């Protein structure tokens, strides 16, 4: 067997030399093409001599441009300025294709690993977890649930209070606070949701004026969208009284529809009621707090975000 390694090394060295000296190669070939047709050694007629000269002039200008460009790249100025333009906020804000750009970037990260599901994964993250249509996030959310009773027919009655700060997108300067109330469409089932208060910055809001009713999957949904605009932070307060049967399902889910930071939960109940807590879709779970207080369940979520469709659940039983 013949060993071709030395020959391969020579070819590699030649290629590297051409890459390093490409500007001078362009320049030398261009000069030859310009000067050679004017000498007595040229075997070509006038047409071909003129053509060679034109090619030489084109090659010369290309070589000069390549030389200048190479010099700028070498000093780092071109690379630094280009990086500033591409990564700058002004450049990104002026783009109309940010969702498509994000898909291309994300595809370069994981498409090679999961080509069969990459498109579905991109759409799910972009449409569900990125705040494309919501222009605020929630912060310092406090949930307080007081369970008044679970009667002999397993009907639960409790009052729920939620208060938090809505932090507005500084560029959009407007958003909607969405409150959805869902009850069963079965008239034979006892269920009642009574809105006691809905306030924004301490001012009571009439939700009847912004109510939309939908029926789906045996449920009636009352969707309320309250616009907020004009400043950075709004204080939201919601208080409702709920009554429904636990015979079909003894679980209450609270899943957020907006990105939320910092959550505190307190559940107070009678001594004959047992309440259990579980996390829903979270990466970092709620932590138990105030475990020494009787007839109270307390949880806290810090140093992380709760994304849309994530949250927590409670299950109820009589002892």
Per-residue pLDDT of the chain (319 residues; tens, 9 = 90+): 445 555 667 777 777 776 666 666 666 777 777 777 777 777 878 777 777 777 776 665 655 555 555 554 555 544 555 455 455 555 556 656 666 666 666 666 666 677 777 777 777 776 666 666 678 999 999 999 999 999 988 899 999 999 999 999 877 788 999 888 887 766 666 778 889 999 999 999 998 888 888 888 778 888 889 999 989 999 999 999 999 888 878 899 999 988 999 999 999 999 999 999 999 999 899 999 999 999 999 999 998 999 888 999 999 988 8
In terms of Cα–Cα distance, which of 282, 197, 200 is closest to 240? 197
In terms of Cα–Cα distance, which of 297, 294, 278 is closest to 286? 278
Whole-structure pTM value: 0.65
SS3 state of residue 277: strand
Q: Compute the residue count for the chain.
A: 319
- 250, 194 in Cβ contact below 8 A? no
Go through 273-301 and write b for each residue having 16 or more CB atoms within 10 A of its CB, e for each that does not.
bebebebeeeeeebeeeeeeeeeebbbeb
């Amino acid at each position: 067997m013949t060993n071709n390694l030395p020959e391969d090394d020579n070819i590699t060295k030649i290629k590297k030399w051409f890459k390093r000296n490409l500007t001078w190669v362009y320049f030398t070939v261009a000069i030859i093409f310009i000067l050679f047709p004017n000498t007595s050694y040229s075997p070509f007629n006038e047409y071909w001599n003129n053509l060679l000269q034109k090619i030489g002039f084109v090659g010369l200008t290309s070589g000069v441009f390549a030389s200048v460009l190479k010099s700028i790249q070498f000093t780092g100025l071109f690379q630094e300025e280009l990086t500033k333009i591409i990564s700058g906020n002004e450049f990104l804000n002026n783009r109309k294709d940010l969702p498509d750009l994000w898909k291309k970037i994300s595809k370069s990260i994981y498409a090679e690993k999961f080509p069969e599901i990459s498109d579905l994964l991109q759409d799910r993250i972009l449409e569900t977890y990125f705040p494309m249509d919501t222009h605020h996030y929630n912060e310092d959310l406090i949930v307080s649930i007081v369970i008044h009773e679970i009667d002999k027919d397993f009907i639960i009655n409790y009052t729920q209070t939620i208060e938090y700060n809505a932090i507005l997108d500084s560029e959009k300067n407007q958003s909607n606070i969405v409150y959805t109330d869902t009850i069963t469409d079965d008239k034979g089932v006892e269920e009642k949701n009574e809105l006691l208060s809905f306030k924004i910055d301490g001012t009571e809001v009439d939700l009847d004026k912004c109510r939309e009713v939908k029926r789906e999957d045996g449920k009636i949904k009352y969707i309320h969208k309250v616009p907020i605009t004009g400043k950075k932070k709004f204080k939201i307060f919601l208080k409702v009284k709920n009554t429904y049967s636990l015979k079909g399902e003894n679980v209450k889910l609270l899943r957020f529809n907006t990105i939320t930071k910092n959550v505190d939960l307190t559940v107070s109940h009678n001594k004959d009621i047992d309440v259990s807590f579980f996390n829903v879709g979270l990466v970092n779970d709620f932590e138990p707090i105030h475990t020494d207080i009787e007839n109270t369940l307390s949880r806290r979520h810090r140093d992380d975000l709760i994304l849309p469709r994530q949250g927590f659940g409670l299950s109820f039983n009589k002892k």
